[in-house]
């Protein structure tokens, strides 16, 4: 019964003190009621103490009406009712003091002019000023206390006991927010600190737990099952200490979501998220030129090929925020394309979204697409990217990655598009596999086409963007590792020394949009991928995040390099150099140039061989066109001799 009453009070108070229009009027009415109670109390107090001086005081009704009128004017003037009471601070107290002071001074001045200049009237006004101030501040203090009481004690059996790491200003602000807002079922029970001077202190009336040697005894002793970090910097600093100490205690590691990442679909109830492997990479947030991108995309018809894929779908989401006229989603995957359209229609109802089923390899379908919609900006993300799969199916790699690119590019010229942006890969540099070589051939074709059009003075920019692996994309190691961990292991890594450059999907897509906005015709843009990451270390971190001990509870097994795989990837080949751009994370690669006539001939031959499914002839032709293509761990190594 007590819990039901608490739940009812919690819901009622949250509705009452929210900063909406009705609630502001409720607070104003309560303040005026308190004002009426105060002046009435002070009047009768004066009468009781000095009944002989009642003749020197105004009539109670006149006094009450005057006091309420002046209070209303100054309460509204100083906006004492517009703050959210549970977030009250000294700023609200200061406004209340000024409002009460001015209301009573006005009452005093009007009373003196009306002839009530006896000491009894002065005493009455002073008493009312003091009483009213105490009552108004006490009312707000009571609401704050009641919210904290409900937050701390009105907890369901499923709620987890959490502590905030650190006692700095940001951590305390997060704790205060968690106390006053819904906190995703987390009951805040204190703070964790490495500062011995904070031992046995309290913040926000919550204990501060000092950790000296390890954190296990705190979490086990107080049955804490959630550790909350206010920002990613704190998380990274403690990854090797506190986080590692509690890695096998079934403690959730939560990270406060940055307000910059909130949107209209999110609110403060979603401010805590479980730490993902992306949070432990320590990558700085990518800043982009919103104005440049908006100028490029606003009111334009934009085509995204491969729109249902991990990269394509994120590009679509980011493009939609810049208010294009139409976004065309082009993909051959029926179900994910439909799912994406439903998502976009819900989140961006004001944007015209068109989903078109089709294959970039089909010339007729691509021509229909351009003829019907006349896209102005094209993001070409459609491609086969899985290295081992393309090593076994090289003809399909050519048809999808080369023929598909040729089709989209040629019709972009025919229908006078403004910009064509191709998504490439670091595997195109000194390729050791069919997939990387096919993307390099697509790069060569686009680069040659761009230089040819430049001489013809055709106003169409061809831009290529090249980056490494993206975390969580289809076919990446992250989903595979998660599945293996959920199944109890083992987690399979190809080689203990294999390294890869990683970037999150949103930041990769932000850089694609930035490069497309600042890019010049024919340039290949290389992204700063940061420091390379050992895949084995990635696996260990993911196992620890899941609450297990690597090599004990979940084993890591090494299976050997896969077909076409090498230990490390490069972003440039030996004959290429880079030059900086206006964006510190984007560089321009200087690459070899080819004659379009020669490339067109070789590409046509490659496509013809692929259509015949002549595998050996296809790969041989690829190696002729891309001499730096040296197969690794592949049956095609014999073609290199």
Q: Which residues are identified as catalytic?
A: 427
Which residue(s) pair with 525 in the sheet?
A: 465, 588
**Residue 3 contacts by C-beta under 8 Å, 6 or more apart in sequence?**
154
CA–CA distances in Å: residue 387 to residues 129, 420, 469, 559, 607:
78, 25, 12, 16, 20
User: What is the Cα–Cα distance from 522 to 519, expressed in whole angstroms?
Assistant: 9
CB-based burial, 477-489: b 16+ in 10 Å, e otherwise: bbeebbebbeeeb
Which residue(s) pair with 422 in the sheet?
A: 380, 464
Kindly state the helix (H) or strand (E) to which residue 500 belongs, with its residue range: strand 499-500
Q: Which two tokens stand for residue 42?
A: 């002070």
| Burial (Cβ within 10 Å: 0-12, 13-18, ≥19) of residue 237 | middle
By the 8 A CB rule, do 369 and 328 touch? Answer: yes
By the 8 A CB rule, do 435 and 390 touch? Answer: yes
Q: Which two tokens stand for residue 625?
A: 């066109």
User: What is the Cα–Cα distance from 242 to 108, expressed in whole angstroms?
Assistant: 62
User: What is the Cα–Cα distance from 296 to 291, expressed in whole angstroms?
Assistant: 9
- 490 prior amide bond cis, ω within 30: yes
Please identify which residue in the block is written with the tokens 């359209």: 341
By the 8 A CB rule, do 36 and 69 touch? Answer: no
Q: Which of 241, 261, 243, 280 minimizes the C-alpha distance to 478?
A: 280
Q: Diameter of the chain by CA atoms?
A: 119
Kindly state the helix (H) or strand (E) to which residue 132 belongs, with its residue range: helix 119-153
Q: Which two tokens stand for residue 168?
A: 């700095």
By the 8 A CB rule, do 243 and 255 touch? Answer: no
What is the DSSP-derived secondary structure letter of residue 416? Answer: T
Residues in the chain: 641
Phi, then psi, of 493 in degrees rounded to 5: -120, 140
What is the Cβ-side half-sphere exposure of residue 156, based on CA atoms within 13 angstroms? 9
């Amino acid at each position: 019964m007590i819990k039901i009453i608490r739940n009812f009070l919690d819901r009622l108070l949250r509705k009452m003190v929210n900063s909406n229009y009705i609630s502001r009027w409720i607070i104003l009415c309560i303040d005026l009621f308190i004002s009426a109670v105060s002046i009435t109390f002070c009047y009768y107090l004066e009468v009781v103490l000095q009944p002989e001086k009642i003749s020197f005081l105004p009539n109670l009704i006149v006094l009450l009406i005057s006091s309420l009128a002046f209070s209303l004017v100054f309460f509204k003037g100083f906006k004492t009712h517009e703050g959210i009471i549970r977030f009250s601070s000294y700023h609200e107290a200061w406004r209340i003091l000024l409002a009460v002071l001015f209301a009573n001074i006005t009452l005093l001045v009007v009373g003196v002019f009306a002839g009530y200049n006896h000491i009894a009237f002065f005493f009455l006004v002073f008493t009312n000023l003091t009483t009213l101030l105490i009552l108004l501040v006490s009312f707000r203090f009571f609401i704050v206390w009641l919210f904290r009481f409900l937050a701390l004690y009105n907890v369901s059996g499923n709620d987890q006991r959490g502590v905030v790491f650190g006692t700095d200003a940001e951590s305390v602000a997060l704790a205060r927010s968690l106390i006053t807002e819904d906190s995703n079922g987390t009951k805040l029970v204190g703070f964790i600190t490495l500062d011995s001077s904070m031992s046995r202190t309290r913040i926000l009336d919550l204990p501060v737990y000092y950790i000296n040697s390890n954190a296990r005894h705190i979490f086990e002793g107080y049955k804490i099952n959630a550790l909350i970090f206010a920002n990613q910097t704190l998380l990274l600093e403690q990854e090797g200490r506190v986080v590692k100490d509690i890695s096998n205690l079934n403690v959730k590691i939560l990270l406060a979501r940055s307000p910059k990442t909130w949107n209209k679909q999110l609110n403060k109830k979603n401010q805590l998220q479980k730490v993902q492997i992306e949070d432990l990479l320590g990558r700085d947030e990518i800043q982009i030129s919103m104005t440049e991108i908006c100028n490029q995309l606003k009111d334009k018809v934009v085509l995204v090929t491969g729109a249902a894929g991990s990269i394509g779908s994120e590009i679509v989401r980011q493009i939609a925020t810049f208010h294009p006229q139409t976004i065309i989603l082009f993909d051959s995957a029926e179900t994910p394309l439909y799912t994406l359209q439903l998502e976009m229609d819900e989140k961006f109802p004001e944007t015209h979204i068109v989903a078109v089923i089709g294959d970039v390899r089909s010339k007729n379908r691509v021509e229909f697409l351009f003829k019907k919609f006349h896209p102005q900006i094209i993001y070409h993300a459609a491609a086969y990217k899985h290295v081992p799969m393309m090593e076994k199916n090289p003809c399909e790699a050519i048809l999808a990655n080369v023929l598909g690119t040729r089709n989209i590019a040629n019709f972009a010229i025919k229908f006078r598009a403004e910009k064509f942006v191709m998504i490439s890969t670091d595997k195109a540099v000194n390729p050791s596999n069919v997939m990387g070589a096919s993307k390099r051939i697509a790069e060569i074709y686009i680069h040659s086409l761009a230089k040819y059009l430049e001489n013809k003075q055709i106003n169409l920019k061809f831009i290529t963007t090249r980056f490494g692996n993206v975390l969580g994309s289809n076919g990446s190691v992250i989903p595979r590792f998660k599945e293996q961990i959920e199944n109890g292991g083992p987690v399979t890594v190809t080689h203990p020394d294999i390294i890869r450059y990683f970037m999150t999907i949103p930041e990769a897509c932000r850089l694609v949009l930035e490069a497309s906005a600042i890019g010049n015709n024919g340039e290949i843009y290389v992204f700063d991928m940061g420091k390379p990451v050992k895949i084995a270390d990635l696996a260990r971190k993911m196992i620890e995040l899941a609450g297990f001990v690597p090599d004990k509870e979940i084993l890591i097994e090494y299976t050997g390099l896969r077909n076409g795989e090498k230990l490390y990837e490069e972003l440039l080949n030996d004959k290429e150099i880079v030059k900086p751009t206006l964006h510190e994370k984007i560089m321009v690669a200087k690459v070899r140039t080819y004659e379009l006539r020669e490339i067109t001939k070789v590409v046509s031959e490659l496509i013809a061989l692929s259509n015949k499914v002549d595998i050996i002839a296809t790969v041989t032709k690829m190696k002729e066109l891309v001499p730096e293509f040296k197969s690794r761990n592949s049956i095609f190594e014999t073609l290199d001799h």
